[in-house]
Structure 1
């Protein structure tokens, strides 16, 4: 048996051995019904919520770091050069404990939101090292915890693989190496399928999970071979769906369009599974229904629901107008994103620590040689204190609630 197959079987065994909720005949799974979502009683369900971005897949711009530290591995490398790997293991461990907590989930629910989307890095569920984590049980423990909080708060959760093996986008958002290698590598594709099967095996009986967003924003638009890459997307989605259905008959499978979730011409088969939903993303556009017509046309042709997994990053006026357009078009939404550093375009805002620019200046410096790292490094004790201040500021109790933004979403601040 090949190493890949053994690796996949090990993941599967891990997932099935984990504690799952017992199956009940009345479990309230959300499912598709034509272009709508419904609960177990046939009542229509509307996705209204936010993304828990940055928590399990740190992004440089949310830290307000320079582009030289714009993805998880680049952030970690730069900060390890600044304050050392031992401190960074402490930092990431504390960050995961504090950035999203029960209090954050309770607050989101209190606004009237129905759903959160949880972006994650695939490495959370493997034995590959990831920001101080080394075993899949650590990743599953994090998901178990937030699922329990959502259950208590009455929220649904969408699991979103934001960073796929090999990279599916080819840019910083998937923590990859500048190209969507996933679509050129059978080994990476087998790993992708194995991780999803492991996740599905563990959570097959958990109705709090609305569905699995299989792949965030595949295939950026600027690759000359994008049509060849696009052609590989649907076959991989079909294979992944088949593997998931071997262990999980319940959850909605959510499929993204190519080119940042905008191109749905890559799909001509939506009958390979009877519980599919498609997901679009769009940011810089007129906040009107006209910007949604292409997505609506595909939705109506496929007779599958369409869901706006990400949008926003704009003024409160824009957010309100576009939210109303989405509601009018029968497209559910989770705006990006819940918490950011020193920003108003989010549910909550983390206060900027004093001296944060010192961290940014080091990350922006030329660090291409070890001598340059030594010359650029400021006082380490000072930098640790600045990072400690961030860890304190990101606690829910210390964050500012952005009432205008939340009201623009039609929710209660």
Structure 2
């Protein structure tokens, strides 16, 4: 009996070690591949695909997923809007996009997603039959085929973690004050981790994107709750998955790391910073470097971009000199400042004009609404324009960040 138990425990231990050996590891400031080679993150974000943002479509007022869905429903009706979102998800990111990202020399893709993709809440044309796992499964399959790692980023959390358009919230980070939202946050991460626990293509789970915008009078009170929320999410993941790294972003646009007091609560955590604008120098990101050095864990620039080519080239040099990997934001949008650009379809300004119009009353909606048939055609033209074969490769942009455009 003792021999049997010893043999069984040995087999279990060996199996666990073999499974664990397939995954990216943390080694001080560095990430290491299963072969023991250093992994310096270079890549991009699939923003706007599963978490639409208005500015990438040239909208100003209509700047979040909820607002866009409401505007489209007012414009062409809810049924056509639901059909539009399915076509959007089918065509915005495909195998061709992932293949191209690999060809540039990238090694990592960050995938922002909305928590509603894993609930029965109304989102992007679906309710009870949400397709979060199906969509991510496709990207996992494509990344595996191309040899890319994937970071799963909860960009929009239950209740909202930012309190702005980027988390598709109601203007406040209710996640930090709602036990129901916190439970749902943990339940979704547990569900995702259980599903992908044995998938080595996934590099890490990024629990929250840009928590706690700097607008709120009780910002410090909210900041004091951040690490506790991260611990709850990590605990939920570890109940089912001990293989994957967990990424924690700083407060205030991933720029403030003072809320972190305990870097030892889990053996597989790393941190993520973001930067838009500012000088492309080590001095400008010294707070990120100092924090990284103090905890002796990896720091990675999860979002950076929207600058001139010279600025981006200088910032890439600074990040590489200071061992901070990066994923530029975003991969695809209208009018460039991205790996590839979507050319707005003819008469796109018609849609933009409606999105900017005052639509508080039903009369205002009726008065602002353009011809529905023409509007539907424009939206279908957008679906065609977003396909990779019709995108414009931004060669100067890709060259500026040290990758290959072709």
Instruction: State whether structure 2 residue 403 is matched by structure 1 residue 403.
Output: no
Indicate the SS of the match to 1:45: coil
C-alpha separation in 1, matches of 2:357 and 2:36? 57
Aligned to 2:10: none
Superposition map of 1:270-349 within 5 A: 270-343=263-336, 345-349=337-341
CA distance in 2, matches of 1:296, 1:356: 43
Alignment of 1:148-227 (within 5 A): 148-227=141-220
State the partner residue of 2:60.
66
Q: Give how far 1:104 is off.
A: 0.2
Q: Tell me, what secondary structure is at the counterpart of 1:284?
A: coil
The Cα shift of 1:139 comes to 1.0
Counterparts of residues 382-393 of structure 1 (less than 5 Å):
382-393=374-385
How far the C-alpha of 1:28 sits from its partner, in A, is 2.5
Which residue is 1:129 aligned to? 122
Which residue does 1:376 correspond to in 2? 368
1:321-343, CA deviations, whole angstroms, 9 ceiling, x for partnerless residues?
Answer: 10111111100100101001122
- Please list the CA deviations of residues 291-323 of structure 1 after superposition, one character each: whole Å capped at 9, or x if unmatched: 111100000000110000001111111111101
Instruction: List structure 1 segments (4+ residues) > 4 angstroms apart after TM superposition.
Output: none
Q: Are the counterparts in 1 of residues 120 and 130 from structure 2 also a CA contact under 8 Å?
A: no
Q: Work out whether residues 154 and 209 of structure 2, in 8 Å CA contact, stay in contact via their aligned partners in 1.
A: yes
**CA distance, structure 2, for counterparts of residue 357 and residue 27 of structure 1:** 52
3-state SS in 2 of match to 1:310: strand
**Equivalent in 29, 32, 35 of residue 41 of structure 1:** 35
When normalised by structure 1's length, the TM-score is 0.93
Q: Secondary structure at the match of 1:405?
A: helix
Matched residues in 1 for 2:243 and 2:361: separation?
Answer: 52
Alignment of 1:104-123 (within 5 A): 104-123=97-116
How many residue pairs are counted as aligned between the two chains?
390
Task: String of CA shifts for 1:212-266, please: whole Å, max 9, x gaps.
Answer: 0100000001100001101111111112111111100010100010011001000
1:7-41 CA-partner distances (Å, limit 9, x unpaired): xxxxxxxxxxxxxxx99647521111111100122
Task: Supply the RMSD in Å over aligned alpha carbons.
Answer: 1.3
The 2-side partners of 1:137 and 1:76 are apart by: 16
CA contact (8 A) 1:122 1:163 kept: yes
Q: Does structure 2 conserve the Cα–Cα contact (< 8 Å) formed by 1:124 and 1:135?
A: no
Tell me the CA shift for residue 207 of structure 1: 0.4
Native 8 Å contact 1:159 1:212 kept in 2: yes
Unaligned runs of 5+ in 1: 1-21
SS in 2 for 1:381: helix
- Structure 1 residue 66 displacement after superposition: 2.2
> Matched residues in 2 for 1:408 and 1:201: separation?
39
Partner of 1:55: 49
Query: Distance between the aligned counterparts of 2:151 and 2:245, measured in 1?
Result: 9
Cα deviation 1:259-288 (Å, max 9, x = unaligned): 110010000101010111000001111011
- Partner of 1:219, secondary structure, is coil
In structure 1, the residue matched to 2:11 is none
Partners of 1:323 and 1:409 within 8 A in 2: yes
* Larger Rg computed on CA atoms: 2
8 Å CA contact 2:19, 2:198 repeated in 1? no
1:89 to 82, 85, 95: 82
Q: Aligned with 1:44: secondary structure?
A: coil
Query: Which sections of structure 2, spanning at least 5 residues, go unmatched?
Result: 1-15
How far has the Cα of 1:208 moved from its partner?
0.3
Following the alignment from structure 1 to structure 2, what is the Cα–Cα distance between the partners of residues 100 and 167?
25
Contact 2:330 2:338 in 1 (8 A): yes
Distance 2:92 2:281 in 1: 33
Q: Over residues 67-99 of structure 1, what are the superposed CA-to-partner deviations in whole Å (9 max), with x where a residue is unaligned? A: 2x1000000101110011111111100010000
Who is 2:231 aligned against? Answer: 238
